[in-house]
Structure 1
Amino acid sequence: MSVSVRAATTEPRNDLGHRLSALSKIVELGPGRVDPALISEAGRLLLRAGDRLKLSGEHTVVALAGGTGSGKSSLFNRISGLELSPTGVRRPTTARTHACVWGLDGAGPLLDWLQVQWRHRFARASALDRGESQLHGLILLDLPDHDSIRALTDHEADRLIQVADLIVWVLDPQKYADAATHTKYVSELAGHEAVTVFALNQADKLAPEELAECVVDLSDLLKRQGVQHPRIVPTSATTGRGVNSLKSVLAESVVQRRAAVQRLEADVNRIMVKFAKVMPAPEAMAVQPTVDLARQEGLTDALCDAVGVPAVGEAMENVYGVRSIDWVGWPLARWAARLRPDPLNSLRLGNIRDEIKTVTAASVSAQPAEVENAVQALADVLGSGMPEAWRNGVRDAARAQLGKLPEVLSKELAEIAPSLDRVPRWWWLLKIWQYLLVVLFVAGVGWAGAILAYGVFKVGQAPADLLGDVSTLPWLGLMMVSVLGLGLLSAIASRNFVVLGAGAEREQLEREMRRRISVVSKEMVIQPVEQELGRYNEFFAALAVARR
């Protein structure tokens, strides 16, 4: 909610403008953290202040308020010097608000805002204003009785008491301690001494000693109600006693042109007292608006553990190693192993890529409690020292998307499941090399067999001399042993390279998974929390300005 405040011409009004702007920020940021009734009250004050400050600053609205029989209408007529407001024994005498204006120019919009009917507006003629120029700019209101049995007039009195720049409480010396006045109004306006005057009317009915006693008693009563420095003016509408003194008080406010600002300042002070009760100053008036890198890393670590990143990396590394056997293992050893039961069948590696995706998804969905604990731990640390409502706000911001978080993490990790059907190029080259060695070994076995058949056992005529030359057998045996040695050495070396490659693949996978988890945690946890921290700082900064 925003408030349109007219450009300030004095420093006090400028200060009020800053406080109202701060209060506007409080109303904007307070919902969900502050009592809604208090937020609504502050909103109404902002609207009222914005309306009043846009209207005439040259006029001071003074309301005569009081209960039935207090004589406020008679006092209104005595101050104005005209019989404008009806008086009599019938109650309530004043059914509608009457207004007397000293200096009508520019007062129309203000009277419209006050909702004073046209037939009840009266202007002092210049001929009657001789000697009262100090009252120029006064709008004097005679309010309906606040304790009227008519609901309409009672409501009108309440409304105008809330918006008048200065209030004159007209009290009957026989009923000045009336609970309807003190409980409903005076105690609620404690702190408004600068814009509140108490007229102890009908003073002519009391002896001087009785009047002095009443003034002291009333002063003590008001102080107990929270009015620290009450201004009490004994008056008599019948004899005119004390009316000039009351006029002097009104004239002082009219000349200074500050009653409207003082009233609004008092209203802001009063509502800030209420805010102080429900929102006391926290241990930390301001917090770091961003989540530091260490806590972000801590959340990422916790989420990585919660979704089983190490387990997925280890599974990928194991599968990488097992799958390499079909490519870089020594073929003769592999073929020999097929002649006995294969323990690797128990690994069920039929569709390895789907296996890894299943492992990843299961790791995420199986650990929602750990995900929740990681998020809750971050919220608890960041909300430490805040008022409970704001701690809850940080917690709610952190947990706002908690229900979706495991699913999103699962989807992210499934997208980066390693492409296990991808074969490194060096696997192809090594496989070709090993099969070439196998071909050489098989060729050597065939050559040796031919020499034994043709050269040793003389089963027939050798097709070529080399196939029957027995002298080549030692060299041929050496060649075959060398081929076997090369094959075994290449298999051993390749296994070492596979281990290194598997470790590198695992590191790359875990690094990418961690990066994805970090991005998700920032979007779904960190950013909402930082918005709440910023809201917290703005709220209490505004609260500090409004409390000045």
Structure 2
Amino acid sequence: MVQPRRTCRPARARSLALVGIAGAGGTHPATAARLGREHRHRRPGTRCRKARPCVRGVARRERARDRRDGWCLRSHSRCDRHRARDRGRHRFFESEAPAGDLRGGRDARDDRRRARASRGSARRRVLEGARPLRQACRRPGGAPRSRRRAARRDGAALAVTLSASLSALDDAVDAAAALGLDTSRARQVLADARGRLGFEGSAYVLALVGGTGVGKSSLLNALAGETVSPAGPRRPTTGTPLAWVAQSARDETAPLLGWLDVRDVRDHANGAFADVAILDLPDIDSTTPEHRARVDELLPRVDAVVWVADPEKYRDAVLHDQYLRRWAPRLARQLVVLNKADRVGSEAERLRAHLVASLRAEGIENVNVAVTSATRDGDAHELRDWIADGVQAKRIISERVATELHGAALDLATRAGVSADAKPLLTAEQRAQVLADVTREAAAIIDLAGLERQAVAATRLAARPRGAGPFGLVTTFLYRVTGRDRVVADPEGYLRRWRERGSLARAAEPIRNVIGDLLPRVPSETRGAIATLVDAQALNARITGAIDAAVATRVADARPPTSVVWSVIGALQYVVTAALLFAGLWIAAVFFLHAPFASVDVPVLGPIPTPLVLLVSLLVAGYVLARLLGAHAGMLGRRWARRLRGDLMRELEARLRDVLFARIDTIDAARVRIARARETIEG
């Protein structure tokens, strides 16, 4: 089913136009009238399928010599396969009849289609009589609807991009401050950018900048067609900035000019300059210091700049060295004007080429050069055309702000020594080697071998009360009373007294050597932040704190192990002790008490009395049990020492990693943030 389409002309008028065009091509009047009636009687807005034979006949009889008409027809034929919205975007006409009717055989062979396209005079007349595209039916004086939509989309995209760029530069400024960089310029750029974007007016600010006597005021007067800014032989002539704005934009530019602190404002009614406010600034080489300071104050806030020079001063060092080299990379829209061309005549083009070559040699490649004359009529057309070339003011403002943000981000990245990938200061291999060396030196000061001896002695001391019998209780009591246990069997105290066993000078050498090798490769402005990492006193304090924290963490639960075997050995020791006591009493009774035991026979084992054999056997059994207890406790103590040493080394390594590389990680993170901000701003 064919969908009706909106039309811009009545059906009768269209049909008569079609009949007239067909008749003009040589069609018989009766055929043309019949075609007009059939076309007229169709329902308005629907397609007419009876128009095809007549139009094809006209096309065959009419020959066109312009091949461009055939190209337009082929483009129109391809476009008719799309929707009306796409045809509007392609800017082609929409046919009155269906697309296939006007083309005549869309599915024909390619050679026939090219032949028909070359005979497009009559078809061109048909298309001219048909209604134009929907985009042409727009409000008087307004832009096409598709262009307005595109402008809104571009404006929204620019707003989102600028918002992201502002946030990125904020983050970069914070990161640069962490590196110890001076961020005053970047903060000023942020303040100026937010201040400039806060004005809702549609006009952008263009500044005329140049040296003394180059004709800035005369050039403005030539653009205005009247005397706006006074010009004369007295130097300096312009002492304060002067603004030339359109009357229609006077009210909306007033807050902007107030922000720029421009008080002298002249208005005009020239519609070609309705979207621009032109500033005539003081001389950049004025003998009055306040004039140059005023120019330096305004340049970061204007949206576009015209650098004005003359044949005598176009190579001036002040203009090139102090302004063009500094500001050309920071301006999105700018132009160099070689004024007073009337004084050099035919040499103007040679001077232009020389000025362009000079700018290229200085690395300034994004600036065009125009030749003007403020005294001859029509010689300022290049500047006039450049100002009124149809560039949207909002885009100029956005590009100016974006360029300034990009310049600030690039400056921070350069001073931070950040490239596109922002490589870390130390590689993974360097970090691993430094950490291993520092940990080894710290472990040597802690004395892990002495820790193992202390752990074994503490375990044996803990085993004596349970496994050594009554004699174990006595020896344990003596150890504690004399304080020997705190000297030879106290791993916790031994770890806490690690400072008494050496200095940390050797432990700090690996990190100090690596940072010392790194310093010459980083920018000078970041060396201060990195050099603080190798300060001897601060580095020793950090390593000391790491060792103390590791020791305190692992010693908090350092308790000697226990075993059930100790209780079994302890019970046997009590039995042996009791038997030993019995044997001792027996021997005492036999050898020292004669009555009433003198008549009792003492059993013997050969020549040795049995009580003596029993006494010696019990002593040997007690010694064996004691050695067995010591061996078992020593085994448990060594196992505990290995576990304690492993936990201590892992904790020490983690603590040292934090104190050695935490500051470096902070610096690396700041450099990465700056690199990401630069990437975001660059888009």
Tell me, yes or no, if structure 1 residue 190 matches structure 2 residue 328: yes
Hey, what does 2:376 align to over in structure 1? Answer: 239
Tell me, yes or no, if structure 1 residue 85 matches structure 2 residue 229: yes
String of CA shifts for 1:69-124, please: whole Å, max 9, x gaps: 2221122233234433222232211111111212224212211121111xx12232
Q: Given the alignment, which residue of 192, 200, 205 partners 1:61?
A: 205
Secondary structure of the structure 2 residue equivalent to 1:106: helix
Q: Given the alignment, which residue of 188, 193, 202 partners 1:49?
A: 193
Task: State the Cα distance separating 1:15 from its structure 2 match.
Answer: 4.1
Secondary structure of the structure 2 residue equivalent to 1:437: helix
Hey, what does 1:470 align to over in structure 2? Answer: 602
C-alpha contact (below 8 Å) 1:101/1:121 kept by paired residues: yes
From the superposition, tell whether residues 182 and 414 of structure 1 become closer, same or farther in structure 2 (CA, over 3 Å).
closer
From the superposition, tell whether residues 372 and 197 of structure 1 become closer, same or farther in structure 2 (CA, over 3 Å).
same
From the superposition, tell whether residues 309 and 108 of structure 1 become closer, same or farther in structure 2 (CA, over 3 Å).
farther
- Cα separation, 2, equivalents of 1:364 and 1:536: 37
Q: Given the alignment, which residue of 492, 505, 511 partners 2:627?
A: 492
- Cα separation, 2, equivalents of 1:18 and 1:274: 18
Q: Given the alignment, which residue of 638, 644, 656 partners 1:503?
A: 638
* Fraction of identical pairs, as percent: 22
Counterpart of 1:9, as a letter, is G
Hey, what does 2:11 align to over in structure 1? Answer: none
Q: Which has the higher contact order (CA 8 A, sep 6+)?
A: 1
Equivalent residues in 2 for 1:378-397, closer than 5 Å = 387=522, 396=532
Task: State the Cα distance separating 1:368 from its structure 2 match.
Answer: 0.6
Tell me, yes or no, if structure 1 residue 352 matches structure 2 residue 487: yes
More deviation in 411-420 or 536-545? 411-420
- Cα separation, 2, equivalents of 1:147 and 1:168: 16
Tell me, yes or no, if structure 1 residue 114 matches structure 2 residue 260: yes
Hey, what does 1:437 align to over in structure 2? Answer: 576
Tell me, yes or no, if structure 1 residue 150 matches structure 2 residue 283: no
Counterpart of 2:155, as a letter, is T
Secondary structure of the structure 2 residue equivalent to 1:174: coil
Secondary structure of the structure 2 residue equivalent to 1:434: helix
More deviation in 172-181 or 521-530? 521-530
Task: State the Cα distance separating 1:371 from its structure 2 match.
Answer: 3.0
From the superposition, tell whether residues 297 and 195 of structure 1 become closer, same or farther in structure 2 (CA, over 3 Å).
closer
- Cα separation, 2, equivalents of 1:350 and 1:492: 20
Tell me, yes or no, if structure 1 residue 72 matches structure 2 residue 216: yes
Hey, what does 2:401 align to over in structure 1? Answer: 264
Hey, what does 1:340 align to over in structure 2? Answer: none
Q: Given the alignment, which residue of 561, 586, 593 partners 1:447?
A: 586
- Cα separation, 2, equivalents of 1:35 and 1:532: 12
Hey, what does 1:9 align to over in structure 2? Answer: 155
- Cα separation, 2, equivalents of 1:229 and 1:296: 48
C-alpha contact (below 8 Å) 1:352/1:420 kept by paired residues: no
More deviation in 91-100 or 305-314? 305-314
C-alpha contact (below 8 Å) 2:204/2:393 kept by paired residues: no
From the superposition, tell whether residues 58 and 275 of structure 1 become closer, same or farther in structure 2 (CA, over 3 Å).
same
String of CA shifts for 1:319-356, please: whole Å, max 9, x gaps: 33775797666989999xxxxxxxx9xx9937427976
Secondary structure of the structure 1 residue equivalent to 2:250: coil
Tell me, yes or no, if structure 1 residue 367 matches structure 2 residue 503: yes
String of CA shifts for 1:293-326, please: whole Å, max 9, x gaps: 9789847843652432413423304533775797
Equivalent residues in 2 for 1:402-441, closer than 5 Å = 402-406=540-544, 409-410=547-548, 413=551, 416=555, 430=569, 433-441=572-580
C-alpha contact (below 8 Å) 2:415/2:523 kept by paired residues: no
Q: Given the alignment, which residue of 168, 172, 177 partners 1:22?
A: 168
Task: State the Cα distance separating 1:374 from its structure 2 match.
Answer: 5.6
From the superposition, tell whether residues 391 and 364 of structure 1 become closer, same or farther in structure 2 (CA, over 3 Å).
farther
Counterpart of 1:195, as a letter, is R
Task: State the Cα distance separating 1:417 from its structure 2 match.
Answer: 8.2
Hey, what does 2:245 align to over in structure 1? Answer: 101
CA RMSD of aligned residues (A): 4.5
- Cα separation, 2, equivalents of 1:256 and 1:418: 72
Tell me, yes or no, if structure 1 residue 540 matches structure 2 residue 675: yes
String of CA shifts for 1:437-484, please: whole Å, max 9, x gaps: 234223223224434567xxxx43349xxx935358876566445533
From the superposition, tell whether residues 203 and 334 of structure 1 become closer, same or farther in structure 2 (CA, over 3 Å).
closer
The structure with more radius of gyration: 2
Q: Given the alignment, which residue of 364, 371, 393 partners 1:227?
A: 364
Equivalent residues in 2 for 1:164-179, closer than 5 Å = 164-179=302-317
Counterpart of 1:535, as a letter, is A
- Cα separation, 2, equivalents of 1:419 and 1:274: 55
Unmatched segments (≥5 aa) in structure 1: 1-6, 336-343
- Cα separation, 2, equivalents of 1:384 and 1:84: 58
From the superposition, tell whether residues 384 and 285 of structure 1 become closer, same or farther in structure 2 (CA, over 3 Å).
farther
Unmatched segments (≥5 aa) in structure 2: 1-152
Hey, what does 1:139 align to over in structure 2? Answer: 277
More deviation in 173-182 or 187-196? 187-196
C-alpha contact (below 8 Å) 2:238/2:281 kept by paired residues: yes
- How many pairs were matched up? 513
Hey, what does 2:318 align to over in structure 1? Answer: 180
Q: TM-score, normalised by structure 2?
A: 0.63
C-alpha contact (below 8 Å) 1:171/1:200 kept by paired residues: yes
